[in-house]
């Protein structure tokens, strides 16, 4: 699997991005963003960094990474990941997270924080914990899961 900077990849990302938003189980994004809104949200300009995971010419997933805050908070990175649900089981998520940790280290960040991880997203949480993240706190009822009702919303972090 190759992780590389996203270029003309939006058309490959948009179908699963749209489906993941519409499912409404894992992101605090609009459920039905326009394609233009979604693209602007997912692919911010540099110094943010946007990549895709590719295998044999097929995009398996994508990630973006950036400073979580500005000014005197700009030494903490954040990142988001999406793997195509139709192409699971290939380690795409793990490869994207590992890549983002390396990117953040190389860019000089001291720490990385995820702001909003749904507490029922067990696969993502297991992966993040395995890669050294700890739960910083959990906002009670921070997320309205379409099937489970109000559930907690974690923030996670780790040093770099």
Which residues here bind a second copy, judged by CB under 8 A? 21, 24, 27-31, 69-76, 110-111, 113, 115-116, 135-146, 150, 153, 155, 157, 159
Query: CB-wise, 45 or 71, nearer to a second copy?
Result: 71
Question: In the numeric block, which tokens belong to residue 128?
Answer: 């993040």
Sign of the alpha-carbon dihedral angle for 14, 133, 113, 119: positive
Distance CA 99, CA 63 (A): 9
Query: CB-wise, 90 or 138, nearer to a second copy?
Result: 138
Distance CA 84, CA 109 (A): 28
User: At its nearest, how many Å lie between a second copy and the CB of residue 10?
Assistant: 20
Query: CB-wise, 60 or 157, nearer to a second copy?
Result: 157
User: At its nearest, how many Å lie between a second copy and the CB of residue 129?
Assistant: 16
Task: Say whether the peptide bond before residue 27 is cis (omega within 30 degrees of 0).
Answer: no
Query: CB-wise, 4 or 144, nearer to a second copy?
Result: 144
User: At its nearest, how many Å lie between a second copy and the CB of residue 68?
Assistant: 8
Return the percent helix, strand and coil in the chain, to nearest 5.
30, 40, 30
User: At its nearest, how many Å lie between a second copy and the CB of residue 16?
Assistant: 16
User: At its nearest, how many Å lie between a second copy and the CB of residue 138?
Assistant: 7
Q: Is 99 helix (H, G, I), strand (E, B) or coil?
A: helix
The H-assigned helical ranges of 24-138 are: 35-42, 92-106, 122-130
Query: CB-wise, 2 or 40, nearer to a second copy?
Result: 40
């Amino acid at each position: 699997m190759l992780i590389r900077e996203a270029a003309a990849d939006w058309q490959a990302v948009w179908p699963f991005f749209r489906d993941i938003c519409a499912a409404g189980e894992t992101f605090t994004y609009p459920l039905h963003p326009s394609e233009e809104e979604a693209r602007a949200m997912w692919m911010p300009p540099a110094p943010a960094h946007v990549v895709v995971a590719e295998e044999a010419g097929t995009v398996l997933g994508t990630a973006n990474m950036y400073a979580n805050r500005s000014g005197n908070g700009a030494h903490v990175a954040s990142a988001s990941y999406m793997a195509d649900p139709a192409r699971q089981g290939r380690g795409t998520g793990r490869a994207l997270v590992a890549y983002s940790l390396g990117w953040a280290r190389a860019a000089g960040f001291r720490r990385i924080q995820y702001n909003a991880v749904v507490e029922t997203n067990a696969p993502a949480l297991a992966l993040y914990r395995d890669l050294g993240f700890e739960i910083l706190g959990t906002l009670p009822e921070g997320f309205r899961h379409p099937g489970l009702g109000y559930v907690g919303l974690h923030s996670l972090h780790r040093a770099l």
